[in-house]
Amino acid sequence: MIPVGTPCARCLHRSRNARYSAVLPSAALVLSGASMEQRAGSLVGAGFLVDMWSVFEDFVTAALRAAFRP
């Protein structure tokens, strides 16, 4: 278990991990115990919302596509 506030390791962007470049900032927020802020006028909301059904569905679709690839 990583203690809260521990600095995240730096990830070097290479061709092998290019597909992860879009989610690395979000992963760093989660690992550091931080969150994103959404500002609308004088109201501030902080949170992290993920549609887990969509994440799971995308994972299963990608796994099955790779498994049945000729």
What confidence tens digit (pLDDT) does each residue in 26-64 have?
777 777 777 666 666 776 665 666 788 888 999 999 999
Q: Write down the pLDDT at residue 59.
A: 92
| pLDDT at position 11 over 90 | no
Q: Write down the pLDDT at residue 58.
A: 92
Q: How many residues does the chain have?
A: 70
- Enter the tokens of residue 27: 């992963």
CA distance 48 to 37: 9
CA distance 64 to 70: 12
| Contact by Cβ (8 Å): 50, 23 | no
Strand ranges, E, within the chain:
36-40, 43-47
Q: Write down the pLDDT at residue 50.
A: 74
pTM, entire model: 0.43
